[in-house]
Each structure stands twice: as structure tokens, then as C-alpha cells.
Chains A and B, each alone.
Chain A
Amino acid sequence: MWQYVGRRLVLAIPTLLGASIIVFAMVHLAPGDPIAAVLPVDASKEQVEAVKKAYGFDKPLPVQYLKWLGRVITGDLGKSIATRRAVILDVRDSLANSLVLAISSSVLAFGAGIALGLLAAFWQGRWLDKLASAVAVVGVSVPHYWAGIILIIIFSAQLNWLPAMGAAADGGIVAYLRHMTLPTIALALIPLGVIARVVRSASLDILAQEFVLALRAKGLPRRRVLTHVVKNAAPQIITVLGLQFGFQLGGSVLVETVFSWPGTGYLLNLAIFQRDIPVLQGVILVLATFFVLLNLLVDVLQTFIDPRIARH
């Protein structure tokens, strides 16, 4: 098993390198000269050459990439064009806020999704099952940025119960929680639908197996049968939970924009608006790294829960 875990770790390295190449290429995808943003319009030829040299743009691309990679690995993500602040500082501050939302919405979606999926499987074909199917379809179909706007219209504009904007970082814990509520719900919708669907189908597969029939035949109460079902469906459920948590971190861009939540998504949005490519690169690289490591963690966890996986 440890051999398998080791192999997975090694396999993550080329993926991360590939991701870094894509992020590096973003500068060169951008229309116009990458140094145009830091130069005055009437810069002389000598000035252009000097800046090119200072930024290393006079070197061939592979050399530029390796130099950039070397800096990135040591935590130097460059400077923001708009604010001249080190990108790593902005990313660190916003990542904390994004993590809070990712965790709160995941907890909500995991709890509700697993409960709904299990109930639907146990009462297959009944109204609870139909409700779960409806939630699943709505969850994967709803544009979550629109769901956020609807929540603001109802709970802020009409009822005036909850705040619509910002995070109230210095307003105390109650204010922070109140600001968190609506974005958390908006972000939880998609994973809620996906998880309910996966848990339902995984549980149905297991409920159809003979050992469940045997458990029922020997007179085990429903609650105890449920424990067996959950244990056997766990690997599949954990995979989907891990993936969904990763999506929460990377996918919150639009929801954070709707709620002006000061996380990575909001930072990205700002960078897009100001065409601040270093910030764009920094945020995306950090989020992608998180995502790859999370997938790795899920894989490793799975082999511990179900050792058969390592043997394949």
C-alpha cells in the first residue's frame, strides 16, 4: 500500500509542473507585449530594452520558465501591476477568507447531501426520493451566481434580514457569521445536488447486494442496516466529497464576486478588471496546487479505507 501511495505522490509532480506551464503561458497568451503595462506610452527603444532585460524577457522561453519556476517555488509570485504589493501577500489574505467559505459551504452541502441521498435510497420511489432527485437536478443546473443574486433579493433587499456585501472583518464574530450566511448557501447548492445523487446511487447499489438481504432476514433493525450501507458506500462518497471541496475553493469566484466577499475569487475578479496578469497567475497557481494536493489526499485516503484499490 505504501508503494502505491509513493507512486501517487510521484505522479502528482508532472501534473503540478504541467499546471505551472499553463499558468506561465498565460503571460504570453495575453494580447500585446507583456511589458506594455509597466512602460510609459512614449518609451524609447533603450528603455524598452532595459525593462525587457530587467524582467528577463530577452531570454528564450524555457529559460524564462525555469527562472520563474525557481522564484515561484520559493514563494515569490511577483508584484501586482496595480498595487505594487507582493502577490503572495494578497493571495494569502484572500485565501483565508475563501477557505472559510469553502469549509462552511462544504459542511452544509455534505451534511444535507448525504442525509438526503441516504433517505432517498431507503425510501426509493417515494416522495422523499423524488425530492432528492429534484434537488439533484436543480443543484447541477442552477447558475450559482444567479442563486446568490436571488438570495440577496429575498433576504437583503426585500426582508432586510441579512447583509448582502462584504465580510465585516472587524465587526465581531456575529457580524462575520451574518455576512457568511448567504454566500455559504449559494455555494452549497451545486455540491448538495451532486452529493445527494452520488450517495443515493451508491447506497442503492449496496442495498441491492445479497448481504443486505441477509442482514434484513436475520432481523437487524433498519438503523443498523444503515450503518452497514454507509460503511460500504464510504469510498465512493469520500471521493465525491474531496472533489467537491476542491471545486468549492476554485469555483467560488463568481459567488464571491456577487457578494463582494474578500476571497481569492474577488481578487481574481479585480485582477481581471485591471488586467493585472501577475495577480491572475498567482491566484490560479495557488488554487490549482491546492486542488491537485487535495485530489492526492483523497486518493491516499481511499486506499486506507479500501485497500483493494492499491492492488489494481
Chain B
Amino acid sequence: MSIIALPAEAVVVVGAPMSYWRTVAWRLSRDGATLGAGLLLLLVVLSAVLAPWISPHDPNAGSIRLRLAPVGAPLHVLGTDEQGRDMLSRLLWGGRMTLLAGLTPVVVAFALGTMLGVVAGYVGGITNTLVMRTMDVFYAFPAVLLAIAISGALGPGLPNTLISLSVVFIPRVVRVAESATVQVKGLEYVAAARASGAGVLQILRYHLLANILGPVLVFASTQVSLSIILAAGLSFLGLGVTPPAAEWGLMLNTLRQSIYVNAVVPALPGLAIFVTSMAFNLVSDGLRDAMEIRA
């Protein structure tokens, strides 16, 4: 009789298997890039929310004598814009507008798009054909063009921006939600639920939504950065938020004329858009990896 000696590393303590969300959290905690981007995002959101309390100056109060002060000027850490308004304050206030204009359409699209997609996917048949063919029509336009078409017709203003961007993102969410629903619908446990007498609403709520919400949410999060870039882009074209409100795209547009006088200050609003959209992208990439969703 021989005793087999196990090497030390082969001895593994087997505990209870980790739950799905604990596994996701554990993976995220080891992903430096995502954590860093998340922290940056938190900073951007916090500074936008707290703008009224932390901005050093009134964002709309200008001074003709202080136009286009350079970065590091006394009292104006990030300089002033073409009307002598404090850049730091305007960037903080502008973040409120840009985040509002960029996030709202994705939230609206997530809510409406998931509903439409789940219904189309679950009911199937003619309803599905009708909904999905209608959504296909919106794919005839590149996102920027669709946003400009609707905003261009509706005219400038924040509400119109929100409407046009929601129209851009709803069809995308519908497609993802519909295909996820069709996949899950065919699984055995749904048939089992139906066989044991579950009603349609019960199946939709507990068996379908619970299983597709994760992937759809992650997809929606990948769209936030595009939404922010488009929202700022519409203001840049004069179709979004109207002056004198501070908004990053609008600020970039009005400062564009001043690049020959001051090369750094006019670039700041765009830098803010870039950093925010990159942070959103990195976080949604990390989420997707941690949740093991292939997209």
C-alpha cells in the first residue's frame, strides 16, 4: 500500500461556488483600467452635480477686459473664454448639460427599446415583423445623419436634442433586446414555467426580463459615449443647447474662432468630451468582460 503525496499547490480549498454577481464584482476589483476609468467617471459626474457649489465664478458673468486669459491666470485657473467668462466654472456647468443631454436618450432608449424588443421577440409573428422592419428603416441612416435630420427639422434646443437622440438609440436597443428574447424564449426552463401554469406576464417578468436585462444594460452602456459625442456635436452645429448656457459642444464651437489668439483654452471643452466618453467606454468594456457577454 502506498501513500500518494500530493504536491502542495494541488490542495485547493473548495468552498461554496461564488454567485454570479460576486464573481463579476471580484473580476472588476482586479481590473485596474476599469477601476481607474470608473473613478474618473465618478469625478466627472460628481463635479457636474456639484457645479453650483464648487464652481469659483458665475459661469455666465463675463468681463470684456479679461477675454481669453491663458491657463493659470490669477483667479481663473483654466483661463477665460472669448467673452471673459471663467473657463473652470463653465466647464463644470457645461458638464451638467452635456451629461444630461448624453445620458437621458440612452436611458429613454433602454426603457422603451427593451419593452418593444421583448414584446416583439416574445409575441413573434406579424407583430415581430412589423416592429423589426420599422426599426430596420432607421438603420438606413448613419447615427450622426439621423440625429442631424431630426434635430435639423425640429430646430435647436435641449428637448429637441433629447428627442432626436432617443430616436437614434431606440432601434439599436430594440434589436439587442429582441434577439436576446428570442434566444431565451426557446430555452427549456421557459417551456417548463409555461407547462407549470405561469401566465404570460409572470414569464415575461421573472423568466425573460431577469435574463436579458444584463446584456441589454451592458449594450446600452456601450452607447453612452456615442450619445455624449453626438449630443455635444449637435450643440456644436448650433442644434442643441442654446447660448448663453454652458455646454461643452457649444463652448467648443464659440471658442473655435479664438485658436489663433489662445491655443490651449479653446481645446479644453473638447478634451472634457473626450475624457468623459473614453471613461464611459472603458467602464462598459470592463463590465462586458466581467459579465462575460459577447457582443
A residues apposed to B, CB below 8 Å: 14-16, 18-19, 21-23, 26-27, 29-31, 137-138, 140-143, 145-146, 149-150, 152-153, 157-158, 246-247, 249-251, 253-254, 257-258, 268-269, 271-273, 275, 277, 280, 284, 287-288, 291-292
Is residue B59 contacting chain A, with contact meaning CB distance below 8 A? no
Contact residues of B: prevailing secondary structure: helix
CB within 8 Å for A143 and B273 given contacts A19-B140, A149-B267: yes
- Per-residue 0/1 for B139-182: is the Cβ within 8 Å of any A Cβ (1 yes, 0 no)? 11111110011101111000000000000000000000000000
- Decide if B145 touches A251 in the complex (CB within 8 Å): yes
Cβ of B135 to closest chain A Cβ, rounded Å:
10
- Decide if B136 touches A15 in the complex (CB within 8 Å): yes
Partner of B148 from the list A143, A258, A272 (CB cut-off 8 Å) is A272
Known A141-B280, A291-B145; further 12 A-B contacts with Cβ < 8 A: A14-B137, A15-B140, A19-B140, A22-B140, A141-B278, A142-B274, A158-B263, A268-B152, A275-B155, A280-B149, A284-B141, A291-B140
- Decide if A137 touches B281 in the complex (CB within 8 Å): yes
- Decide if A141 touches B274 in the complex (CB within 8 Å): yes
- Decide if B148 touches A30 in the complex (CB within 8 Å): no
Cβ of A15 to closest chain B Cβ, rounded Å:
5
Is residue B233 contacting chain A, with contact meaning CB distance below 8 A? yes
Partner of B137 from the list A15, A138, A253, A277 (CB cut-off 8 Å) is A15
Partner of A145 from the list B139, B140, B252, B280 (CB cut-off 8 Å) is B252
Q: Which residue of A lies closest to B150 (CB)?
A: A29
Interface residues of B in 219-254 (CB under 8 A from A): 225, 229, 232-233, 236-239, 249, 252
- Decide if A291 touches B142 in the complex (CB within 8 Å): yes
Is residue B133 contacting chain A, with contact meaning CB distance below 8 A? yes
Enumerate chain B residues within 8 angstroms of A152, measured Cβ to Cβ.
Answer: 259
Is residue B120 contacting chain A, with contact meaning CB distance below 8 A? no
Expressed in whole angstroms, the Cα–Cα distance for A233 and B153 within the complex equals: 42
- Decide if A143 touches B154 in the complex (CB within 8 Å): no
CB within 8 Å for A250 and B270 given contacts A158-B263, A272-B237: no
A-B contact pairs, 5 of them (CB 8 A): A15-B140, A143-B274, A150-B267, A254-B236, A272-B152
CB within 8 Å for A22 and B263 given contacts A272-B237, A280-B152: no
Is residue B202 contacting chain A, with contact meaning CB distance below 8 A? no
Is residue B282 contacting chain A, with contact meaning CB distance below 8 A? yes
Is residue B260 contacting chain A, with contact meaning CB distance below 8 A? yes
Partner of A284 from the list B143, B149, B256, B282 (CB cut-off 8 Å) is B149
Expressed in whole angstroms, the Cα–Cα distance for A158 and B264 within the complex equals: 11
CB within 8 Å for A292 and B140 given contacts A141-B278, A149-B270: yes
- Decide if A141 touches B281 in the complex (CB within 8 Å): yes
Expressed in whole angstroms, the Cα–Cα distance for A305 and B60 within the complex equals: 59
Q: Which residue of B lies closest to A251 (CB)?
A: B144
Enumerate chain B residues within 8 angstroms of A27, measured Cβ to Cβ.
Answer: 153
- Decide if A141 touches B277 in the complex (CB within 8 Å): yes
CB within 8 Å for A146 and B274 given contacts A29-B154, A272-B152, A284-B145: yes
Is residue B134 contacting chain A, with contact meaning CB distance below 8 A? yes
- Decide if A137 touches B278 in the complex (CB within 8 Å): yes
Enumerate chain A residues within 8 angstroms of B267, measured Cβ to Cβ.
Answer: 146, 149-150, 153
Enumerate chain A residues within 8 angstroms of B277, measured Cβ to Cβ.
Answer: 141-143
Enumerate chain B residues within 8 angstroms of A251, measured Cβ to Cβ.
Answer: 142-145
Expressed in whole angstroms, the Cα–Cα distance for A284 and B142 within the complex equals: 10
Q: Which residue of B lies closest to A250 (CB)?
A: B142
Is residue B113 contacting chain A, with contact meaning CB distance below 8 A? no
- Decide if B149 touches A22 in the complex (CB within 8 Å): yes
Is residue B266 contacting chain A, with contact meaning CB distance below 8 A? yes
Q: Which residue of A lies closest to B255 (CB)?
A: A149
Q: Which residue of B lies closest to A276 (CB)?
A: B152
Cβ of A261 to closest chain B Cβ, rounded Å:
15
Enumerate chain A residues within 8 angstroms of B133, measured Cβ to Cβ.
Answer: 14, 18
Q: Which residue of A lies closest to B229 (CB)?
A: A143
Cβ of B257 to closest chain A Cβ, rounded Å:
11
Cβ of A120 to closest chain B Cβ, rounded Å:
16
Q: Which residue of B lies closest to A23 (CB)?
A: B149
Expressed in whole angstroms, the Cα–Cα distance for A145 and B255 within the complex equals: 13
Q: Closest 9 CB pairs between A and B?
A: A146-B270, A18-B137, A250-B142, A141-B278, A19-B140, A26-B153, A250-B145, A29-B153, A141-B277
- Decide if B259 touches A146 in the complex (CB within 8 Å): no
Enumerate chain A residues within 8 angstroms of B140, measured Cβ to Cβ.
Answer: 15-16, 18-19, 22, 288, 291-292
Expressed in whole angstroms, the Cα–Cα distance for A18 and B138 within the complex equals: 8
Enumerate chain B residues within 8 angstroms of A142, measured Cβ to Cβ.
Answer: 274, 277-278
CB within 8 Å for A140 and B263 given contacts A149-B252, A149-B256: no
- Decide if B141 touches A19 in the complex (CB within 8 Å): yes
CB within 8 Å for A271 and B259 given contacts A146-B274, A150-B267, A253-B237: no
Enumerate chain B residues within 8 angstroms of A250, measured Cβ to Cβ.
Answer: 141-142, 144-145
Partner of B260 from the list A140, A157, A277 (CB cut-off 8 Å) is A157
- Decide if B155 touches A31 in the complex (CB within 8 Å): yes
Expressed in whole angstroms, the Cα–Cα distance for A277 and B155 within the complex equals: 11
CB within 8 Å for A141 and B142 given contacts A29-B150, A271-B152: no
- Decide if B145 touches A253 in the complex (CB within 8 Å): yes
Expressed in whole angstroms, the Cα–Cα distance for A246 and B237 within the complex equals: 21
Expressed in whole angstroms, the Cα–Cα distance for A271 and B274 within the complex equals: 28
Expressed in whole angstroms, the Cα–Cα distance for A163 and B134 within the complex equals: 44
- Decide if A143 touches B136 in the complex (CB within 8 Å): no
